[in-house]
Each structure stands twice: as structure tokens, then as C-alpha cells.
Amino acid sequence: MNARCPECGRSWEDARRTGRLGCPACWDSFRAELDQILSEFHGAKVHPDLPAATEQAKQLRKSSVEADLETAIAREDYLEAGRLRDVLKDLQG
């Protein structure tokens, strides 16, 4: 099933294909998909360069990297686990 935004009628596939959301309600309609993309892109659901991204954002990023590290280890993806370990070291130091 391809969910659609109740306001503008765009689907997630429309947004992926064009690289654009249709309206502000799309942010709520596609929150799970957007959270996943933001986590992969920024390492957290909060952009680290925003003024509000202080210690709380750093903690969110650290938690996200730790969770990704555990997942990589469980998948036995040791190359990714090593990369994430280094990212975690940078965040801690």
C-alpha cells in the first residue's frame, strides 16, 4: 500500500522520485521515512549544525551511532562496525 498525504495527496514514492514534499502535512504523513533518512544522513534525527543542537543533539547522535554499531555487530558487518566505532570515539573525545 502506498500511503498518501491527506492534505496534498502526494505519496512517499512521489516525494522520493522528485526529492520534494508536497506540503507541510507531508512531514507528519511520512515521519517514519523521513526520520530514517535524517538518521542515515546526519547520524541523528536532529541536524547537528542547528543552534538548538547542543548537548541534547550530541547525545541523540551518540545514542543513534551506538544503536547502529550494535546492529552492525549483530549482522557481522565488521567493516561498518569499525567505522561506527571510530565515529563514536570522535563523539566521545
Cβ pair 39, 45 in contact under 8 A: yes
Rounded Cα distance between 73 and 90, Å, is 19
The CB density around residue 49, as the number of other CB atoms within 10 Å, is 8
Which residues are within 8 A (CB) of 85 and not within 5 positions of it... i.e. 6 or more apart?
69
Which residues pair with residue 11 across a beta bridge?
4
* Local structure of residue 31 (DSSP, 8 states): H
- pTM value is 0.44
Report domain extents, the chain.
1-42, 44-93
Cβ pair 62, 88 in contact under 8 A: yes
Task: Please check the confidence at residue 52 and state whether its pLDDT lies above 80.
Answer: no
Higher per-residue pLDDT: 61 or 7: 7
